Structure 1
Amino acid sequence: MPLLESLSPLSPILNLALVGLAMLTSVISASVGIGGGTLLIIVMAQVMPATALIPVHGMVQLGSNLGRATLTWRHIDRQVIAAFLPGVVLGALAAAWLLIRLPSGVLELAIAAFVLYSCWGPSLPKGRLGKGATLAAGAVTTLLSSLIGASGPLVAAFVKHSQTTAFARVATFAACMSLQHLTKAFVFGVAGFVFRDWLGLMAAMIAAGLLGTWLGLRLLRGLSDKRFDTLFKWMLTLLALRLLWMGIEELVAS
């Protein structure tokens, strides 16, 4: 108990529950491609201070995605990453200095609409998936990630159109998200967040996430590309519907 108590300002029971949840959500992300990070931030939002939620979640997701990218590095589309990275830098700089936010709920609705179109609408023209579109995707999703915490569904919708196999999608998505979450150390450092108070919990959740990633990748090897594509599409759809509901609630409340 003393060890668990020292992990963060939260109670030992909550610390233990979050470590276990980090492993479970990493299994989900590694085997289905997405969903774990969004589930994790939903639960964390119920028990953590709002000021700590996005930076702590970002560092935990950095560890989880970096581990997944490392284990699947042979499948990463390096051309996509090379074009995505400059956009990540631009998005992080914008997030660090942004003073004006859109009305509550608008971001969630916009992301949900794009993801649903990506899953069920006509295929995007190939010309829109070039370097310019990739850079723009990196900038916009990185900015949104710092504002709402979980931009995974939007990045996954982009990756879905650029990769054709299960392992390529998982690997490229993990690499993109690693770059994105890495910028949060800069963004929230500039904002004055004290990471030191939460280092123990972040380290424990990252370690649990690495174990979950290993287990999830073993499950992924047993899925055919067609079955993976179906699971991936429905996971995206469910997350988009959740964002749609959240956006409507925010707009009604405001």
Structure 2
Amino acid sequence: MALLPSDLAPSFSLLLIFASFFTSATTAAFGLGGGAMLIALMTTVMNPLIAVPVHGAVQLGSNGGRAMVRFPHIVWPFFIWFCIGSALGVAIGGQIAHLLPENLFRGLIGLFLIYIAWGPKLKAVLTSTPLTALTGTVTATIGMITGVSGPLVIGFLQGLADRRAIIATHAALMTVQNILKLAAFTLLGFQFATYLPLILMMVATGFLGTLVGSKMLDGLSEQIFRKIFKLILTILALWLLAQTILP
């Protein structure tokens, strides 16, 4: 317990370590939901100004582990241009994060997810280099402000035919965004060392969750995956909209 952050009750630290397993398993199996659930939990027990960078560090481990497990399925052309755009987005988001209302972005994300779940698929993004780079810029900017960009990113991957390609490419893209986000927070003066033991323990349990969730994904048919994915996307969208509307 001595290694855990002094400004966080030991019971809350253990809760986050435990939750990291289940949220990582959820994302590994269904593509989304885990990161948003984890940041929601973290902001209830931690100062949001601390929760967002710590969450980014934990998600780096979670997404990096998932990218390694699913490495053969990554769609590389989309990955390269998305990363170029993300570098610009992180730089922009780091400068304006404290100036913009977070709830506005959460509401817009919720509306976008409703469209992704029930509207036409955004296949053009997968075949257009400028749109891919712009997608990276926009999602990275929003991720720096709200801590939530994963659902946005995976929304643009719905044109991919195989569920494993969606999961793998999403994990690789988010890994890069997490690396850029951590670099930006470090340059902005956040002291990660204080929370490093907690981060490492959450990464460890998160990787175990990734292995379990990956097994679940392999056991799902493409049809069932798409139905569960749409359900989780809709629930997540309604949750974000509720956060925006309710005091």
Classify the TM-score, shorter chain: over 0.9
Deviation of the 1:233 alpha carbon: 1.2
* Amino acid across the alignment from 2:27: S
Of the candidates 6, 12, 15, which is equivalent to residue 14 of structure 1?
A: 12
Deviation of the 1:124 alpha carbon: 3.5
Of the candidates 73, 76, 98, which is equivalent to residue 75 of structure 1?
A: 73
CA distance change for structure 1 residues 6 and 127 in 2, over 3 Å: closer, same or farther?
closer
In the alignment, the residues of structure 1 paired with residue 107 and residue 170 of structure 2 have an alpha-carbon distance, to the nearest angstrom, of 22
User: Given that residues 23 and 212 in structure 1 are in contact (C-alpha distance below 8 angstroms), is that contact kept between their aligned partners in structure 2?
Assistant: yes
Deviation of the 1:127 alpha carbon: 6.6
Of the candidates 201, 213, 218, which is equivalent to residue 215 of structure 2?
A: 218
In the alignment, the residues of structure 1 paired with residue 35 and residue 104 of structure 2 have an alpha-carbon distance, to the nearest angstrom, of 21
Q: Which residue of 1 aligns with 2:36?
A: 38
Q: Which residue of 1 aligns with 2:188?
A: 191
Of the candidates 30, 46, 49, which is equivalent to residue 47 of structure 2?
A: 49
Count of residues in Structure 1 that have an aligned counterpart in Structure 2: 246
CA distance change for structure 1 residues 128 and 209 in 2, over 3 Å: closer, same or farther?
closer
In the alignment, the residues of structure 2 paired with residue 171 and residue 235 of structure 1 have an alpha-carbon distance, to the nearest angstrom, of 18
Deviations along 1:9-61, one digit per CA (max 9) or x if unpaired, are 22222221111100111110111111000000111111112221100000000
Give the structure-1-normalised TM-score. Answer: 0.92
5+ unaligned residues in a row in structure 1: which ranges? none
* Amino acid across the alignment from 2:174: M
In the alignment, the residues of structure 2 paired with residue 105 and residue 42 of structure 1 have an alpha-carbon distance, to the nearest angstrom, of 13
* Amino acid across the alignment from 1:18: L
In the alignment, the residues of structure 2 paired with residue 236 and residue 127 of structure 1 have an alpha-carbon distance, to the nearest angstrom, of 19
Q: Does 1:207 align with 2:204?
A: yes
CA distance change for structure 1 residues 15 and 172 in 2, over 3 Å: closer, same or farther?
same
User: Given that residues 95 and 187 in structure 1 are in contact (C-alpha distance below 8 angstroms), is that contact kept between their aligned partners in structure 2?
Assistant: no
Q: Which residue of 1 aligns with 2:103?
A: 105
In the alignment, the residues of structure 2 paired with residue 93 and residue 107 of structure 1 have an alpha-carbon distance, to the nearest angstrom, of 17
* Amino acid across the alignment from 1:245: A
User: Given that residues 126 and 156 in structure 2 are in contact (C-alpha distance below 8 angstroms), is that contact kept between their aligned partners in structure 1?
Assistant: no
In the alignment, the residues of structure 2 paired with residue 29 and residue 100 of structure 1 have an alpha-carbon distance, to the nearest angstrom, of 29
Following TM superposition, the consecutive aligned residue runs of length 4 or more in structure 1 with deviations greater than 6 angstroms are: none
Identity %: 37
Q: Which residue of 2 aligns with 1:236?
A: 233
5+ unaligned residues in a row in structure 2: which ranges? none
